Chains A and B, each alone.
Chain A
Amino acid sequence: MNETMVISIPALFMFAVILVFPVLIFRHLGLRLTRDLLVSMARMAVQLTLVAIYLEYIFKLDMPVVNLAWVLVMIVVATGSILRQSRLSWRKCMWTILPAHLLTSLLILSGFLLVFDLATIISARYLVPLMGMVLGNILRSNVVALDRFFSELRAGVAVHIQYLTLGATGAEAVRPFLRNALRAAVGPQIGTVATMGIVSLPGMMTGQILGGSSPAVAIAYQIMIMIAIFTAAAVSSFLAVHFATKAAFDPYGRLKEEIFLKKP
């Protein structure tokens, strides 16, 4: 197997010079995004560096308990990030929504057991990148699902009341909102899956090929991870909204305003 060519730090800084072009475009259009762009890029570099140091350590240690604990940290951070982006209160919703992502992760891990043996999947080299890809890719759909669900529920409060007076239970009355939220969350992903390989060369496959794997091996991994990501996105979005409804209503079926973060 060929070793991947190492990118030196000075070379990386040289490469960053091409950021001049987006900056010039922003200036040309009078967009005040330059600062945000540079801060985001710097943050990304620092975070990845820290994670790299941490992962080096985890990979060297390679203890199943530590690996699983790291996945747990990823799950909590993912849930927190989803709540922040959906402008939901961390304090009111963390414990109700976290199980959605724990259950989803458990499901995906069980799925991986059909492909790998236990010792392989809980080794750092497999567990951390695979679960990292899955969790990283469900953020978007969860945010869309929660955001759509609550914004439609607030705009359509009359419909919610109407269904409840027609005899619907709490779950039956939110079903149309849940359906719309899920369609918005995972519908576009189905389209993305269909163009995979033609429009976009997926990241995992690219990484593996650069890492020296044969394209055949890389493709098998890519197909597996696409199935895992889609399943996780659909299941976690559904569960997140489902659990959120448990925290969202008072005994009179009214939406609790305190679960939302006040807009600054």
Chain B
Amino acid sequence: MLEFKDVTIRRASRTILDKVSLTVSPGEHLILTGPSGSGKSTLLRAALLFEPVDHGEVLWDGQKIFPANLGTHRSRFLYIGQKPMPFDGTGEEYLNLPFTFAANHHLRPDKTGQDRLMESLGLDPALKNTPYMRLSGGEQQRLTIIQGLQLERGFCLLDEVTSSLDQESMRAVIRHFSEDKERTVLAVAHNTEWLDFGFAELYLESGKIRRRE
């Protein structure tokens, strides 16, 4: 369970989060909306302790996060941004990248699982053989999502992941996350499509957060 307790974040004399308290329970599906620059991305990064917090605490199951348990804390999350990184290699090599990290050496990529995920997000599995840089922005973005979904991460932090997708693939991505009841999802979004798929809305404005019904 992720908890923000009276979290205040100031940047260059501007208060981005103002004593925000928020609890995200396991299995919740939430979108975070609000005006541009209101601090939505900052809040996601703060959950991973990537943003220094000026006041208050970020807790997991009531525990404070220190550098000593930071690795464990971050390994609970899947974080995906809106713009993927350039990558030399094929789509398949990109999907397999997490398995080259020492921490994941005990895991093996599941090829049929990859193909299934690709199909469910509207991608032809043959794209795996295409050089990653030759894929379109939307294809790269969906491969990035699949790359992360392969790992057992219970909590998804998604930062405008559908911004480079067309209507159809956007709905495929949202549907995928909405049907995944095992995972907790907190997605920064500008579009309200997510609400159609049963996501609840958190609204962030002027440093304050509130749930919208």
Contact = CB atoms under 8 A, between A and B. Distances in A.
Contacts of B147: 166
Contact of A253 (B50, B84, B103, B153): B50
Nearest to A168: B101
Contacts of A165: 48, 74-75, 77-79, 148, 153
B2 interface: no
Contacts of B144: 162
B151 A166 contact: yes
- Counting contact residues on chain B (CB < 8 A from A), the size range is 35 or more
A159 interface: yes
A159 B45 contact: no
A180 B48 contact: no
B126 interface: no
Contacts of A169: 101-103
A158 interface: yes
A164 B101 CA distance: 10
Interface string A60-75: 0000000000000000
A167 interface: yes
Contacts of A254: 50-52
Nearest to A251: B67
- Counting contact residues on chain A (CB < 8 A from B), the size range is 20 to 34
A56 interface: no
A161 B98 contact: no
A172 B101 contact: yes
A252 interface: yes
Contacts of B82: 158
Interface in B70-126: 70, 74-75, 77-88, 97-98, 100-104
Contacts of B83: 156, 158-159
B83 to A, nearest CB: 7
A88 B69 CA distance: 31
Given A166-B147, A167-B101, A161 B48 contact: yes
A111 B171 CA distance: 60
A176 B97 CA distance: 11
A156 B147 CA distance: 17
Interface string A167-188: 1110010001001100000000
B142 to A, nearest CB: 15
Contacts of B139: none
A261 B70 CA distance: 29
Contacts of B97: 166
A168 B100 CA distance: 9
A161 B50 contact: yes
Contact of B81 (A159, A180, A253): A159
Interface string B167-180: 00000000000000
A251 B82 CA distance: 26
Nearest to B67: A251
A166 B67 contact: no
Nearest to A156: B85
Contacts of B70: 251-253
Interface of A: 156-159, 161-169, 172, 176, 179-180, 251-254
8 contacts: A156-B85, A162-B85, A162-B144, A165-B78, A165-B79, A166-B78, A166-B101, A172-B101
